[in-house]
Amino acid sequence: MAVGKAAESFSKAFVEEVQRWGAMKQTGVSLRYMMEFGARPTEKNLLISAQFLQKELPIRIARRSIELESLPFGLSKKPAVLKVRDWYLDSFRDLRSFPEIKDTSDELAFTEMIKMIKVRHNNVVPAMALGVQQLKKGLNPKVVPTDLEEIHEFLNRFYMSRIGIRMLIGQHVALHDPDPAPGCIGLINTRISPMLMAQAASEDARSMCLREYGSAPEVNIYGDPSFTFPYVPSHLHLMVFELVKNSLRAVQERFPDSDKHVPPIRIIVADGIEDVTIKISDEGGGIPRSGLPKIFTYLYSTAKNPLDENYGGLNDGITMAGYGYGLPISRLYAQYFGGDLQIISMEGYGTDAYLHLSRLGDSQEPLP
C-alpha cells in the first residue's frame, strides 16, 4: 500500500477520519497522576482508563500516520517506512472500530486489543532506522547533515510519541496484574533503587561486551543502595544499559590488550531535591568536539550498521553498537518524565554522561 495508493487502499471516509482525529488535541499525563490513579485499580478505574485510551490513542496514532505520509527526501516512500505507516493505520482502524466501552467485559476485550497493538508496533524503531538507512544510501553526498534536520526533528517527535503510546498501553495492561510486585503500580515502581538498577544494567552490558570482545572492563558503582524513588524500571534500565554499553565499547577499543591495566567505568548516583542524577564516566578516549553535535542525531553512528538491508522480519536483536539510535532515544526516555541526558567529553581522555531524572514526577508528558 504505497503512499499514492493510500486513497485506493482505504476509503475516502477512512482517510478523512484519520485527518479529523489527527487534528484533535492530545491529553498529557504525568508520572504522579499515573501513580495516584493506578494506586486503586478498581473495575471502575480500569473502565475510566480504557475509556480515556479509546479516545486518546486514536488521536496520537492518527497524528503520526499523517506525518509518515509527508516526510522529506522521499523517506515516506521507503519500503520500511511504508510498513510502519501500515502498522499505524491498522491500529487506528482497530481502535476506531471497537465499540463503545460500557462495562468490564468491554474493558477486558479492549485491553486484549491494545496488547495486540503494542506487539504490532514492537519493531517500529528498527524499521524506521532501516528506512533512514535506505534513504542515506540513495542520497546525494552533497546533502549535508543540516539539510536532514527536518528528518531528525520528525524522528524526535515520532519516537517521543511512541514512548508515550507504549507507556499508556503498558500501564493500563499492567494494572490488571492480580499480584503486582511490592511497591509497583502498573509499570511504575514507587521504590526503585537507582543503584541496584545501575548494577543490573551494567551486568547486562558487561555480558554483552564479553560476548563481543572476549573481555569487559570493570564497572564500579558509588551511591546509597537504600535510596529509592518512583520511576519506570524498564525505562531506567534501557538508559543506563545504553550509556554503560557505549562506555564499555569505548574503553575496550582503546585498551584492546587486556594484559594492560584497563581503567574501570565509574557510575555515581546522586539524590538531589529535584533530580536523581546518574553519572557514567569512562576513560575511553572521548569524542572530538566536532563530533559532539552529531551524537544525538539519528543519522550518525560510529559503528557498522547491523541491520539486514533485505527487509525481513526485523527482530529485536541487540548488538554492542546499533544503528546509532541509543543516545538520542535514551535522551527522549529521560525527557519523557521531565529529565534530560547530557554528554560531556574530553578528547584524548574520556566521556561523562549525566542522566538527570526528575524526582518530583509532576511534569506532563511532552506531546509532539
Residue pLDDT, tens place only, 183-192: 999 999 999 9
pLDDT tens by residue, 303-334: 544 454 444 444 444 443 455 688 999 999 99
Query: Distance between CA atoms of 153 and 245, rounded to whole angstroms?
Result: 25
Query: What order do you get walking across the sheet with 184-185 strand by strand?
Result: 184-185, 188-192, 229-231
Per mean pLDDT, which range of 71-75, 107-111, 120-124, 361-365 is the poorest? 361-365
If one counts every other C-beta atom within 10 angstroms of the C-beta of residue 119, the result is 9
Average pLDDT over every residue of 336-343: 95
Query: Distance between CA atoms of 49 and 54, rounded to whole angstroms?
Result: 9
Higher pLDDT: 248 or 7? It is 248
Q: Is the pLDDT of residue 48 over 90?
A: yes
Q: How large is the C-alpha radius of gyration of the chain?
A: 22
Task: Provide the pLDDT confidence category of residue 26 given band limits of 50, 70 and 90.
Answer: very high
Per-residue confidence (pLDDT) for residue 245, from 0 to 100: 95
Q: Which long-range contacts (CB under 8 A, 24 or more apart) does 8-11 make?
A: 10/89
What percent of the chain is modeled with pLDDT above 90?
Answer: 70
Per-residue confidence (pLDDT) for residue 151, from 0 to 100: 87
Task: Provide the pLDDT confidence category of residue 145 given band limits of 50, 70 and 90.
Answer: low
Per-residue confidence (pLDDT) for residue 144, from 0 to 100: 60
Per-residue confidence (pLDDT) for residue 323, from 0 to 100: 59
pLDDT tens by residue, 282-300: 999 999 998 888 888 887 6
Angle between helices 124-138 and 149-174 (to 10 degrees): 170
C-alpha cell at 180: 503486582
Longest dimension (CA), the chain: 68
Q: Which long-range contacts (CB under 8 A, 24 or more apart) does 232-235 make?
A: 232/31, 232/167, 232/187, 232/188, 232/189, 232/337, 233/187, 233/189, 233/192, 233/197, 234/187, 235/333, 235/336, 235/337
